[in-house]
Amino acid sequence: MLRVNLITLSDYASISREGKLSINGIFDKLNVTKFPTSLVRAFFVATIAGDALTEYKLDLNFKKGSKNLATFNLNSMTGENGRNNMVVELVGLPIQEEGDYKFSLTHGKKELGSTSLEAIQKEGQPAEKLPN
């Protein structure tokens, strides 16, 4: 049975030649000064577990409420241990308004896991004064 062991958004992520997963800057909130805006750059990271040496066709869905904003088709091949680390670079995803945005990983019509991003409008902060 296919399942997700880890799912998150981060500032940066990579997989080494040895298959080691590195994740930097995990986040679930996006503070912006105005809308509309975009998610300039982020990384969707997931670790899936299923049958060994099996290819799975997955979809990464980006939604606000019931409205699907984008879908990315992904192929994932598990290793001998039945696991695979996935890193998807996301660039320029539209964030039209404040609220919760959902990233869900699906196989067929079954949701394997999801993570949320809360977009919040913050007033501009005054520049911090440096000591003399």
* pLDDT at 40 > cutoff 70: yes
* pLDDT at 128 > cutoff 60: no
Phi-psi region of 60 (alpha: psi -120 to 50; beta: other; left: phi over 0): beta
- What are the tens digits of pLDDT across the range 9-28? 999 999 999 999 999 999 99
Instruction: Give residue 125's pLDDT band: very low, low, confident or very high (50, 70, 90).
Output: low
Give the pLDDT confidence score for residue 131 in this predicted structure.
Answer: 58
Averaged over 64-75, what is the pLDDT?
A: 96
Query: Model-level pTM greater than 0.85?
Result: yes
Edge-to-edge strand list for the sheet holding 67-77: 29-32, 110-121, 99-107, 55-64, 67-77
Written as one letter, the residue type at 26 is I
Give the pLDDT confidence score for residue 123 in this predicted structure.
Answer: 79
Edge-to-edge strand list for the sheet holding 37-49: 21-27, 3-15, 37-49, 83-95
Instruction: Give residue 124's pLDDT band: very low, low, confident or very high (50, 70, 90).
Output: low
